Homo-oligomer: A and B are copies of this chain.
Amino acid sequence: MEPGDAARLGPGRAARTLPPRLLLLPLLPLLLGRGLRAAASASSGAAAEDSSAMEELATEKEAEESHRQDSVSLLTFILLLTLTILTIWLFKHRRVRFLHETGLAMIYGLIVGVILRYGTPATSGHDKSLSCTQEDRAFSTLLVNVSGKFFEYTLKGEISPGKINSVEQNDMLRKVTFDPEVFFNILLPPIIFHAGYSLKKRHFFRNLGSILAYAFLGTAVSCFIIGNLMYGVVKLMKLVGQLSDKFYYTDCLFFGAIISATDPVTVLAIFNELHADVDLYALLFGESVLNDAVAIVLSSSIVAYQPAGLNTHAFDAAAFFKSVGIFLGIFSGSFTMGAVTGVVTALVTKFTKLHCFPLLETALFFLMSWSTFLLAEACGFTGVVAVLFCGITQAHYTYNNLSVESRSRTKQLFEVLHFLAENFIFSYMGLALFTFQKHVFSPVFIIGAFVAIFLGRAAHIYPLSFFLNLGRRHKIGWNFQHMMMFSGLRGAMAFALAIRDTASYARQMMFTTTLLIVFFTVWVIGGGTTPMLSWLNIRVGVDPDQDPPPNNDSFQVLQGDGPDSARGNRTKQESAWLFRLWYSFDHNYLKPILTHSGPPLTTTLPAWCGLLARCLTSPQVYDNQEPLREEDSDFILTEGDLTLTYGDSTVTANGSSGSHTASTSLEGSRRTKSSSEEVLDRALGIGDQPVSSRGTRLVFPLEDNA
């Protein structure tokens, strides 16, 4: 077994006793009544006439009934979502901000869950079961000979002996319970892709170093701390006698991994609405997007941790390093998959004139993005992670090649998919609290978990911010740190990871706890965001497209080895160097190859590549008839800042006075700046042509200086 396989398979090894019959697609009229309908059909085919008509009719009635129940249960969800949408509208209309749509979806889900749980009769259902003894092992397909006719059965999953009766329990409850893989393979991908695709690139790349640190180091720290704290809690529970079943250290770490996936959807929505600080937004959004990916791969690696020998839960250095290897392998593999499909799409859209036919273009875009998921899954990597990086690549390159219509179309398409999938997951969460039949409520564990995630978040944000601030020009102020600490909501990803495997007692306890954590964080933190923002003095009403003050990371990066860069902060130096390298490579080679923008390759590539360069450079770059598209000017604008920094004394002064330590004074000084920046922005926005020519010049700011 290759390392990648083991890890990917890992979280999939759930005893899926949940009925996977109903496959929900919140986005498409769906396949209804596949299971039982087939049963009816089977007996009414060719052999219809010579079998007893009565029996056949009974089976048909059963199939009919099951098909109806399927439809009704889906209608329930649609009704839920419709209600949510209408209430959200009312809330938005009245500018109510204490409850986000996802929180609302959960409340409606809860209500429907209560009704389904206590309101519907516990019919033992039409599913007749038969015990049939078989030796040795379970096969995936069974052929059953029923008085001469053969029927084919497919394996659905193992049922623990105690649960046999519940299989026949409440039909309606079963109907509204989905195969957990639905979340992973249908609902998460559009959410994650949208996150990548809608990334505000400029602000994201400006803060890339900090975001990566929060996402990778932070998640690992948080996972480890939560895992260890929970192990203490588990030990305590065993001491007190509250825990009878097995609960290993790896289980605790697994819980740490799944619960480390933050999802500040509520906070970000309010940030968006109030136009709160863009850098804080970028930090929070970037962290949450990337740490989802990290959490998935981390949890896979933890599951893959299988030391040799009998005591399978002791520490084993070899197994540990194998897990680390798996983590790196899956992550880089998925990253590569996503990036490669994105690049291929960019090339295809660049070198064909597909943009004359926006429908074809959109369809191609959609198919290519979807194929990333499948490709990664087929190669043993993680589709969801691949989709994220595909989304980022598509936004960075392909988006520039698309026609205006396709740009809005793809954005809108994924926005709708994202909206529906997200609200569906949250309303399902509400529902699951009552309809999920294997809850394990353990007060000690739950309280422990709440304390652990609080401490884990604190141990992740504050120390990391301290170290990052050593290297950052534009410090992450205390108010930002508190806000990040506060925004540690858990959402769809934690839920999807937790529900994926609910086979063992430990996993069921984790699932219940995760659900409660999601409820609490979404409701309480979601409601407290607006007060918290004003309490922490975080500026709102910022134009999101406005340039942040020039004394920020990327400014620093582009300034490179300026006089200010002291010997001490090596970290900053390296990241700046790395980033500059990447940036100039991207701007000089990747963008011109993959899009219609950037300097012509004939000028950036060495002379002996002349022919190749001419082939790859699109004519638009040469004749300069087509001005640089606005979306391309993300970096160009940054460069624009630079240029203006040279000329404009006010901004330069601000740029060099970058050692703000008092976070409260930061806001005031920023406000004064914003007006002058706006002027600059406007100047840059209007003069598109000069920007494009400046772009080439400004790629090497140091050379320009020299």
Question: Chain A residues in contact with chain B, CB under 8 A?
Answer: 1, 5, 9, 12-17, 20-21, 23, 25, 27-49, 55, 57, 59-64, 66-68, 71-72, 74-75, 78-79, 81-82, 85-86, 88-90, 92-93, 126-147, 149-161, 164, 167, 179, 181-182, 185-186, 189-190, 312, 348, 352-354, 356-357, 359-360, 362-364, 366-368, 370-371, 373-375, 377-378, 380, 383, 387, 408-409, 412-413, 415-417, 419-420, 423, 501, 503-505
A380 proximity list for chain B (CB < 8 A): 64, 68
* Chain A interface SS verdict (over half): helix
Option from B38, B40, B133 in Cβ contact (under 8 Å) with A9: B40
Beyond the given pairs A75-B375, A93-B353, A129-B141, 10 more chain A to chain B contacts, judged by CB atoms under 8 angstroms and listed by A's residue number, are: A1-B57, A15-B45, A36-B140, A42-B138, A78-B371, A85-B360, A130-B142, A134-B146, A150-B164, A152-B159
Known: A13-B60, A40-B12, A88-B360. A158 touches B151 (CB 8 A): yes
Most buried by B among A12, A16, A41, A375: A41
Interchain CB contact under 8 A, B32 and A89: no
> Which residues of B lie under 8 Å from residue A44 when comparing CB positions?
13, 15
Q: Write the nearest CB–CB distance from A117 to chain B, whole angstroms.
A: 21
Is there contact, CB below 8 Å, between B134 and A129?
Answer: no
Query: B29 touching A186 by the CB < 8 A rule?
Result: yes
Task: Determine if A416 and B362 form an interchain contact, defined as CB atoms under 8 angstroms apart.
Answer: yes
- The 19 listed contacts between A and B (C-beta, < 8 Å) are A13-B41, A29-B186, A29-B383, A38-B155, A45-B160, A45-B503, A47-B158, A59-B138, A86-B352, A128-B139, A131-B145, A132-B132, A132-B145, A134-B146, A135-B146, A136-B146, A138-B149, A150-B158, A152-B167
- Once the chains bind, are B142 and A153 in contact (CB under 8 Å)? yes
Q: Contacts A28-B370, A45-B13 hold; do A34 and B143 have CB atoms under 8 A apart?
A: no
Q: How far is the CA of A158 from the CA of B146 in the complex (A)?
A: 10
A78, B152: Cβ atoms closer than 8 Å: no
**Cβ–Cβ contact B15 & A46, under 8 A:** yes
A81 to B359, CA, bound (A): 13
Q: Is the beta-carbon distance between B23 and A31 smaller than 8 angstroms?
A: yes
Q: How far is the CA of A31 from the CA of B30 in the complex (A)?
A: 12
A151 touches B159 (CB 8 A): yes
Q: Bound complex: CA of A85 vs CA of B126, how far in Å?
A: 46
The CB with the most chain B CB atoms within 10 A, among A63, A136, A155, A357, is that of A155
Roughly how many angstroms separate A23 CA and B34 CA in the complex, as a whole number? 10
Contacts of A312 in B (CB 8 A): 49
A60: chain B residues at CB < 8 Å are: 1, 9, 13
Q: How far is the CA of A366 from the CA of B413 in the complex (A)?
A: 12
Does A30 lie within 8 Å of B186, measured CB to CB?
yes
A18 to chain B, nearest CB (A): 10
Closest to A369 in B: B29
* Alpha-carbon distance between A366 and B29 when the two chains are bound, in angstroms: 10
How many copies of this protein are present in the complex? 2
Are B139 and A129 in contact (CB-based, < 8 A)? yes
A639 to chain B minimum Cβ distance, whole angstroms, is: 33
Whether A153 lies near B153 (C-beta < 8 A) is yes
Q: A151 contacts B155, CB within 8 Å?
A: yes
User: Do residues A64 and B9 form an inter-chain contact, with CB atoms below 8 A?
Assistant: yes
Q: Which of A190, A417, A505 has the most B CB atoms < 10 Å from its CB? A: A417
Known: A132-B145, A153-B153. A85 touches B41 (CB 8 A): no
A88 — nearest CB in chain B belongs to which residue?
B360
Which residue of chain B is the closest to A6 with respect to CB atoms? B60
Compute how far the CA of A133 lies from the CA of B89 in the bound complex, rounded to whole angstroms: 58
Task: Write the nearest CB–CB distance from A542 to chain B, whole angstroms.
Answer: 22
Residue among B31, B33, B89, B153 making CB contact with A156, cutoff 8 Å:
B153
User: Which one of B133, B354, B378, B416 lies within 8 Å of A75 (CB-CB)?
Assistant: B378
Say how far A502's CB is from chain B's closest CB, in angstroms.
9
Are the CB atoms of B167 and A143 closer together than 8 Å? yes
Q: Which of B55, B68, B409 contacts A416 (CB 8 A)?
A: B409
> Min CB distance, A110 to chain B, in Å?
20
Q: Is the CB of A15 within 8 A of B42?
A: yes
Q: How many angstroms between the C-alpha atoms of A34 and B129 in the bound complex?
A: 21
Which of B1, B93, B360, B409 touches A412 (beta carbons < 8 Å)? Answer: B409
Report whether B27 and A28 are in contact in the complex, using a CB–CB cutoff of 8 Å. yes
> Do the beta carbons of B370 and A186 come within 8 Å of each other?
no
Q: Is the CB of B46 within 8 A of A503?
A: yes
Contacts of A134 in B (CB 8 A): 130, 132, 144-146
A162 CB to closest chain B CB (Å) equals: 10
A62 CB to nearest chain B CB (Å) = 7
- Docked pose: A47 CA to B27 CA in angstroms: 37
Known: A1-B61, A152-B159. A387 touches B142 (CB 8 A): no
Neighbouring B residues of A48 by C-beta, 8 Å: 13
By a CB distance below 8 angstroms, the chain B residues around A64 are 5, 9, 380
Q: Name A142's contact: one of B47, B59, B126, B142 (CB within 8 Å).
A: B142
Question: What's the least CB distance linking A364 to chain B, in Å?
Answer: 5
Considering the chains assembled together, what is the distance between the CA atoms of A536 and B374 in angstroms? 48
Q: Which residues of B contact A85 (CB under 8 A)?
A: 354, 360, 363-364, 367
* A157–B360 CB distance below 8 A: no
Known contacts A71-B374, A89-B354, A374-B78; A14/B139 CB under 8 A: no
Contact B78–A367 (Cβ < 8 Å) = yes
User: Which chain B residues border A42 with CB–CB below 8 Å?
Assistant: 15-16, 138, 155, 157-158
Query: Given contacts A153-B154, A154-B21, A155-B35, are A147 and B130 in contact (CB under 8 A)?
Result: no
In Å, the complex CA distance between A23 and B23 comes to 9
Give the Cβ gap from A157 to chain B, nearest Cβ, in Å.
4
The answer to whether residues A28 and B28 also contact, given A354-B89, A360-B85 and a CB cut-off of 8 A, is: yes
Whole-angstrom distance between the alpha carbons of A159 and B28 in the complex?
A: 30
Q: Known interface pairs A28-B370, A31-B23, A146-B134. Does A141 touch B167 (Cβ–Cβ under 8 Å)?
A: yes
Residue with the greatest number of chain B CB neighbours at <10 A, chosen from A5, A185, A374, A408: A374
